[in-house]
Amino acid sequence: MRALITGCAGFIGSHLAQSLLVRGDSVVGIDCFNDNYGRRQKLRNLEQLSAWRSFEFVPIDLSRGQLAEITAGRDVIFHLAAEPGVRSSWGRRYGQYVQNNIVATQHLLDAIKETPEVRFVNASSSSIYGEAERVPTSEDAVPSPISPYGQTKLGAEHLCSLYRANYGVDAVSLRYFTVFGPRQRPDMAFHIFCRAAIEDRPVTVFGDGRQTRDFTYVADIVAGTVAAGEADLGDHRSFNIGGGTPASLREVLDLIEQLAGTSIDVEYLDRKDGDVKDTAADTRRARAQLGFEPATTLADGLAAELEWMQELVSSVGVLGLP
φ, ψ of residue 36 to 5 degrees: the values are -70, -25
Residue 319 confidence (pLDDT) above 50: no
pLDDT at 171 over 90: yes
What is the rounded (10 degree) CA torsion for 306, 311, 314, 319?
Answer: -50
Instruction: Name the residue range of residue 111's domain.
Output: 2-177+218-242+281-296
In a domain, 172, yes or no: yes
Of 278, 247, 81, the closest CA to residue 180 belongs to 247
Distance CA 142, CA 110 (A): 27
* 3-class DSSP state of 261: coil
Contact 22, 222 (CB under 8 A): no
Residue 39, pLDDT score: 83
Instruction: Give counts: helices (H), strands (E), the chain.
Output: 11, 13
Cα separations (Å) of 88 from 92, 98, 218? 9, 13, 22
pLDDT bin (cut points 50, 70, 90) of residue 317 is low
Residue positions annotated with a catalytic role: 149
Domain presence at residue 80: yes
Q: DSSP of 23-89, one letter per residue? A: TT-EEEEEE---TTS-HHHHHHHHHHHHT-TTEEEEE--TTTS--HHHHTT-SEEEE------SGGG
Mean pLDDT within 161-187 = 97
- pLDDT tens, residue by residue, 105-133: 999 999 999 999 999 999 999 999 999 99
| Domain CATH number, residue 70 | 3.40.50.720
Amino acid at residue number 165: A
**How far apart (Å, rounded) are the C-alpha atoms in residues 273 and 120?**
32
| Mean pLDDT value across the chain | 94
- Residue 118 in any domain: the answer is yes
Backbone angles phi, psi at 173, to 5 degrees: -115, 135
Rounded to whole angstroms, the Cα distance separating 247 from 84 reads 22
pLDDT for the residue 88:
92
Compute CA distances 49 → 13, 19, 42, 97, 233, whole Å.
11, 10, 11, 27, 29
Tell me the DSSP string of 168-189: --EEEEEEE--EESTT--TTSH
Rounded Cα distance between 260 and 37, Å, is 26
How high is the pLDDT of residue 191?
Answer: 96
Nearest to 73 by CA among 4, 164, 169: 4
Distances (CA, A) of 237 to 32, 158, 245: 28, 11, 24
Number of domains composing the chain:
1
Q: What is the pTM of this model?
A: 0.95
Percent of the chain, pLDDT > 90?
91
The radius of gyration of the chain's CA atoms, rounded to the nearest angstrom, is 19
206 part of a folded domain: no
Q: How far apart are CA 304 and CA 89, in angstroms?
A: 29
Longest CA pairwise span in the chain (Å): 56
Q: What's the pLDDT at 320?
A: 44
Q: Does 276 reside within a domain?
A: no
> Does the pLDDT at position 299 exceed 90?
yes
- Decide if 184 is inside a domain: no
Is residue 20 a part of any domain in this protein?
Answer: yes
Residue 228 lies in a domain: yes
**Total residues belonging to the chain:** 322
Return d(Cα 119, Cα 5) in angstroms, integer. Answer: 12
